[in-house]
A and B are shown apart, each in its own frame.
Chain A
Amino acid sequence: MGTTGLPTNITQGSRTKGGIGESTLRPDGTLKVTGEFAYSSDMWHEDMLWGQILRSTVAHAEIVSIDTGEALATPGVYAVMTYDDLPTDVRNYGLEIQDTPVLAHGKVRHHGEPVAIVAADHPETARRAAAKIKVEYRELPVITDEASATAPDAILVHDNRTDHHIGHVPHPNIVHRQPIIRGDVAKARERADVIVEGEYVFGMQDQAFLGPESGLAVPAEDGGVDLYVATQWLHSDLRQIAPVLGLPEDKVRMTLAGVGGAFGGREDLSMQIHACLLALRTGKPVKIVYNRFESFFGHVHRHPAKLHYEHGATKDGRLTHLKARIVLDGGAYASASPAVVGNASSLGAGPYVIEDVDIEAVALYTNNPPCGAMRGFGAVQACFAYEAQMDKLAARLGMDPVEFRRINAMSQGTALPTGQVVDSPAPVAELLRRVKAMPMPPEQQWLAAGEAADVRELPGGLSNTTHGEGVVRGVGYAVGIKNVGFSEGFDDYSTARVRMEVVGGEPVATVHTAMAEVGQGGITVHAQIARTELGVTQVTINPADTRVGSAGSTSASRQTYVTGGAVKNACELVREKVLELGRRKFGTYHPAWATAELLLESGKVVTDAGEVLADLVDVLGDEAVEVEEEWRHRPTEPFDLRTGQGFGHVQYSFAAHRAVVEVDTELGLVKVVELACAQDVGKALNPLSVLGQIQGGTTQGLGIAVMEEIIVDPKTAKVRNPSFTDYLIPTILDTPTIPVDVLELADEHAPYGLRGVGEAPTLSSTPAVLAAIRAATGLELNRTPVRPEHLTGTA
């Protein structure tokens, strides 16, 4: 962990072993290494059926007819359902705008849209039956970009929109538009000694979590359904599922099954409603597991974007203004597009002081695959563009790119283009300084092993493309700003139920939340918080389900903050009750019960001076103390629809990267040698998990820099590479060492001073790699991912 002479942490440490600040190990670790941990795809139920989804083979078409007869007649098939079989009038769902049909009705709007569902007694039977459903399409022209979306005669992707954005968008094929206007750009431009412009293109990234969408729906005797599923937000799913099934929410009982990664891709529904429909129709448990091909169609992706940026600066390196336009392709359905627009616009200027700003961000409706949440959420695309701009400006001014950033770095107290004054540490310059100060990896590492070149250390790796020929090293830097938590006035809360009792002669805390543990280690942290607050060593974490209140989503870097905050809050309330119990039982024996500040530590009630007053076992006796309570962070407010002004985000998170790459300049192949990161985490509740988040996020940023892209045919809007053969994510041979310098500057508004960690590293990693490749090649490179053809003039 890094140390600092800057403001100190508000640490509420604990002398109870396994509390916050320690790298305690995952409670599910043993299950996960023995193969016993049950992921959603591992579930099994006696008599269960397999569900299969038939998806559209075209992107935009009217459905002329659907013939399910032959499929239904297939032996082993129990049900085939189409739009006509939906049980209620609620036939759409959506995170914010209910524009997504459960099953296509009259029209399909993107390649791979669900048209019909089948339940059968073997997955192969279900596949064969689905293949026998005859769907006749009448194809429509496809809308694939801003020009085709807003053309005068453009077909509307959604007719008769009634959502709350339609009133302020310039065209019905625009989901949402958010300007951020501050100062006077025209005037500021006159002060600029240099102006740089750039047009940037950001490819469509897939979350590519390894555990495909899956779940098991079990019909219940009361007419309801029990759903075991991998998701990011149980209660949001529930709110969307129940009305479609025509069931009250208490009859749809959801339990989180093991989640094989998420990264935003499980924020929207996938197979949930389909499995429930089939289970209720057949009266049998139904399991649906997507394969990898289907997974590429089964969840939203990161919005591809086109970004136009213009920055000005004075000769001495101070930014004068920013004018930017960010066009995000939301695809066929809204998903999280409005919030992504909010982030891309409000964070579009990056972590810099710029007084005069004019940013506009829009998300389009097109016939491309729907896009929504993915780690970094709008801020990633913007960071790629503004960081490229910073390097261009520095180059134009003949300045060192890190020094140029330092001069313009924001800090605590800076007013962002939204007018929001950042009221907690924003150590942008310090992060850059630290990442630059880290030791450089040795030159020509491929010769380190001996005389012969070790191709594994070279661009091309095992493919043996170079033994050093054409290889040039480059170094690049980037820094980014990400919001933490839900923004723009959203009521962002979580709920925790904490219980304390004596079990087997020992005080035990039980924590029950609906937080989706998707791998991030939230349950590890909950146990740590309970230990710290309640002085116990044994903590039981209940499975997440809908029998407890909502925890909000495992996204937006928010769970340690918000559900962690809720657990802390509930623990504090339990502690008060326990102390009250203690005062009633033992208060007369020692005056400190009434006068001192009391803590629970190592199974005992102690005074702040360390004097032991009682054993928790004795205080609790046979009683159990339990609290369920919602907890909220400070409220935020919506951005003004014309100016974008407002206290929109509750917290900001910052990371900086230095990338060192070797580029085979002749073949256009890249080896990232090292990706160093410095990040402020406020307070590392679990330092090991913090590193895991930073290194994982960094690697996803590396992926979008050099290899990851869903390729959509612009003529047909069909996905061309829905497989792990052609959608490539980094292997261990593509991933460099990732040294991390963690800074802990407390945010006094947040529990324990913590700062959300998960997303910031995904922002700056990509532009740092791109900057390094530019440094090695001298090329402008205005798109990501950068492919060999872009580096060799053969695109």
Chain B
Amino acid sequence: MRVTFTVNGRPQEADDVWEGESLLYVLRERLGLPGSKNACEQGECGSCTVRLDGVPVCACLVAAGQVEGREVVTVEGLADYAKQRAEHGGCASGACGTADAAAGTPLDEARRRAARGTDSHTGEGTELSPIQQAFIDAGAVQCGFCTPGLLVAADEMLERHPNPTDADIREALSGNLCRCTGYEKIMDAVRLAAARQSEGV
């Protein structure tokens, strides 16, 4: 079957999708967006967290056919999403308003950015969302496999809850497993992002 939907503000179409495929498979294997990770395929790890019409969900548990006509934001689009939210002074999701499809980063441009220069493997110079920057700065990334899902979940939590308590952070991220960090640096990162956000940095 064919599935047409919007990913990171850009219309996408996947053809010959097997009916049993998940949104995660379509993103990773058909649309060239492997940022959302496949770690359990049963909604028990959160590594594939994306926003579906603004709401964080496990992409592995959404049937591909269910996203027809809907809007998905993945980690690849998080920086732009956060930027739009900051510029529009609120929420960038389809749930809180109309996302400007034209403002999304075309995939080709994103790729060119990734492939730029010999320093491409450090990704230096890439524009990041506050939560992405905070994860790097706080040492919240080790193997990084849980990171994309955590970023999407944490970013959404900070959107709803700009000044979370530690217990709020833990609850909001309780669907995202991390095996490397012991979560301490992840807590630091979210606190840091919240603090920077409230300082308007």
Let me know if chains A and B touch directly in the complex, using CB atoms closer than 8 Å: yes
Point out residues on A near B: beta carbons under 8 Å: 23, 25-39, 41-42, 44, 122, 124, 207-212, 258-263, 289, 291-292, 449, 454, 456-457, 461-462, 503, 518-521, 540-541, 543, 688-689, 691-692, 695-700, 723-725, 729, 731-733, 735, 737-738
Check B40 for interface membership: any CB of A closer than 8 A.
yes
A263 to B180, CA, bound (A): 9
Report the minimal beta-carbon distance from A304 to chain B, rounded to whole angstroms.
20
Which of A454, A731, A732 is packed against the most chain B CB atoms within 10 Å?
A732
Q: For A541, give the chain B residue with the smallest CB separation.
A: B121
Contacts of B124 in A (CB 8 A): 30
Contact with A35, one of B33, B185, B187 (Cβ below 8 angstroms):
B33
Shortest C-beta distance, B46 to chain A (Å), equals 9
By beta carbon, the residue of chain B nearest A30 is B123
Min CB distance, A736 to chain B, in Å?
Answer: 9
**Residue in A closest to B133 when the chains form the complex, CB atoms:** A33
- The reply on B12 being an interface residue by CB < 8 A is no
Range of interface residues on B (Cβ < 8 Å): 35 or more
Question: Bound state CA distance, A36 and B33, in angstroms?
Answer: 9
Q: Let me know if B151 is at the binding interface, CB within 8 A.
A: yes
**Do the beta carbons of B139 and A33 come within 8 Å of each other?**
no
Contact (Cβ within 8 A) B39 A292 = yes
Give 14 new A-B contacts, CB below 8 A, not counting A29-B136, A30-B126.
Answer: A31-B123, A33-B136, A34-B79, A34-B126, A34-B128, A35-B35, A36-B35, A207-B179, A212-B39, A456-B170, A461-B174, A462-B174, A731-B174, A735-B184
Listed residue (A38, A208, A261) with the most chain B CB atoms within 10 angstroms of its CB: A261
Contact with A along B75-88 (1 / 0, CB 8 A): 11011000000000
Question: Are A33 and B177 closer than 8 Å at their CB atoms?
Answer: no
Main secondary structure of the interface of B (DSSP, over half): loop
Complex CA distance for A212 and B174, rounded to whole angstroms: 21
Q: Would you call B139 and A732 a contact (CB within 8 A)?
A: no
Q: Are B76 and A34 in contact (CB under 8 A)?
A: yes
Q: Total number of A-B contacts with CB less than 8 angstroms?
A: 203
State which of B38, B74, B79, B133 has its C-beta within 8 Å of the C-beta of A289: B38
A735 to B169, CA, bound (A): 13
The residue of chain A having its C-beta at the shortest distance from the C-beta of B144 within the complex is: A32
- Highest count of chain B CB atoms <10 Å: which of A28, A258, A503: A28
Chain B, range 109-166, C-beta contacts under 8 Å to A: 114, 118, 121-124, 126, 128, 132-133, 135-137, 139, 141-148, 151, 165
Residues of A within 8 A of B144 (CB): 28, 32-33, 37, 258, 260, 519
| Minimum Cβ distance to chain B for residue A694 (Å) | 8
Q: What's the minimum C-beta distance from A536 to chain B, rounded to whole angstroms?
A: 14
A454 touches B35 (CB 8 A): no
B182 at the interface (CB under 8 A from A): yes
Q: Tell me the smallest distance from the CB of B55 to a CB of chain A, in Å.
A: 19
A540 near B34: Cβ-Cβ < 8 Å: no
Decide if B143 touches A211 in the complex (CB within 8 Å): yes
- Write out the residue numbers on chain B whose beta carbons fall within 8 Å of the beta carbon of A35: 33-36, 74-76, 148
Given A33-B136, A208-B179, A695-B181, decide whether A724 and B44 contact each other with a Cβ distance below 8 A: yes
A724 close to B45 (CB less than 8 A)? yes
Please state if A691 and B184 are interface contacts (CB–CB under 8 Å). Answer: yes
9 A-B pairs in the complex with CB atoms less than 8 angstroms apart: A29-B123, A30-B128, A31-B123, A33-B144, A291-B41, A292-B39, A692-B142, A695-B181, A731-B175
Task: Tell me if B176 counts as interface (CB < 8 A to partner A).
Answer: yes
